[in-house]
Amino acid sequence: MIKLLKNANVYTPSPIGKKDILIEGEKILRIADHIDGYENLPDVEIYDLNGKTVVPGYIDMHVHITGGGGEQGPASRVPESSLSVFFKNGITTAVGLLGTDGITRSVENLVAKARALTEEGMTVYALTSAYGYPPTTITGSVEKDIVMIPPMIGVKVAVSDHRSSNPSGDDLIALATAARRAGLLSGTPGLVTMHMGSGKGRLDPVFYVLDHSDVPAKNLLPTHMLRTPELMDAGVELVKRGGYIDCTAGSDDQEVENQAVKLFDLLHRDGMNMDHVTMSSDAFGSQPRFNAEGECVGLTYASPKYLHKTIQILVRMGMPFEQALKLLTTTPAVLLGKEGQKGCVAAGADADLLILDENLEITSLLAKGKVALWEKELRMKGRFEE
């Protein structure tokens, strides 16, 4: 099936003005000022966008697709994700991972859920293991998991957190080396995503890896980097050394404003390379509150909707729209090794296209060339969604 989007205000994410976009199957075939001659042809769908804005579909680098939680017992386990929630919020690609609970939430279930969401219309990758070290895997080896089990692209671990196994710098070197080698063998990024808590060590183990090994900084992705001012300072230093950091959007209407302010400040620090920062939702992951004694005194969970809301807030604060978009498009595509395929609007790229109105509100979405959402009406849902 061929689709032709007419009169689109296109951000690639750089602004290129009003264009027509020709789509064949899952791919963008052509972008031009005017693409004519397809009217009244069979098997061609034409959509006049009347100047609406088209941007790349969002890439969410940190999603608990099988649900997170559990810090207040079994009843506090968060439900699994659903396809429609991603599509309603402009997300077409995601990285699924486990959280605190690597016991009742298995890597096997994570892989099955990632493959299910991909079958249903998204593109979903996965990370092996969870918070703990040594890692919990399917095959008994991080390398084998990444090399032999699609859609594995890396490994998860927790660092500088009272719920972590407190891996040392040497532990992280071993883990990152295994992931790096597996990435080379499998053609995947071999990513080490590190949940960062508010512990005293902050990014010290990460800097140890850079100082005492040859693991490229690009393979190391600390997340939740807005957690404390000290962690933010360490994140700036990591970026200055060529590394990347991931920042988490808020989990409620008030926190999203606060997190956006902190992110805006971080991105405008002296010497900061904005192209080395991503933003993720931590969706379906628990958001526990602990008191001074380490007791969990409150629990909610994050939603994907705060990604796009953060983009709107950043723009309102004065950040150029195209720069804000990079947090969810080109930069995560670089980390995934999918430049030119994901996170862009370009000939040959996947036809993951998010359509916004004049107020930057989400109206429509194409996922791999299929209409997932049109004029705020869902066209694609998971198999068992009502």
Would you name the residues annotated as active-site residues?
282
Which ranges constitute the DSSP H helices of the chain?
83-88, 107-120, 142-148, 169-186, 204-212, 229-240, 253-267, 305-316, 321-326, 330-336
DSSP-assigned beta bridge partners for residue 19: 8
Which of 125, 97, 208, 107 has the alpha carbon at shortest distance from 160? 208
User: Dihedral through CA 376, CA 382, CA 385, CA 386, nearest 10?
Assistant: 50
Q: Say whether 337 sits in a helix, a strand or coil.
A: coil
Burial of 141 (0-12, 13-18, 19+ CB in 10 A): middle
Which of 212, 279, 295, 271 has the alpha carbon at shortest distance from 245? 279
DSSP for residue 164: S
Task: Give first-to-last CA distance, the chain, whole Å.
Answer: 27
DSSP-assigned beta bridge partners for residue 3: 23, 45
Peptide bond preceding 134 in cis form (omega within 30 of 0): yes
The identity of residue 357, as a single letter, is D
Contact status, residue 50 vs residue 18, Cβ threshold 8 Å: no
Which pairs with CB-CB distance under 8 Å and at least 24 residues apart come from 132-138? 132/102, 132/157, 132/158, 132/164, 132/165, 133/157, 133/164, 133/165, 133/167, 133/171, 133/175, 135/175, 136/102, 136/107, 137/107, 138/107, 138/108, 138/111
C-alpha distances (whole Å) from 355 to each of 52, 330, 339, 383 are 7, 17, 21, 24
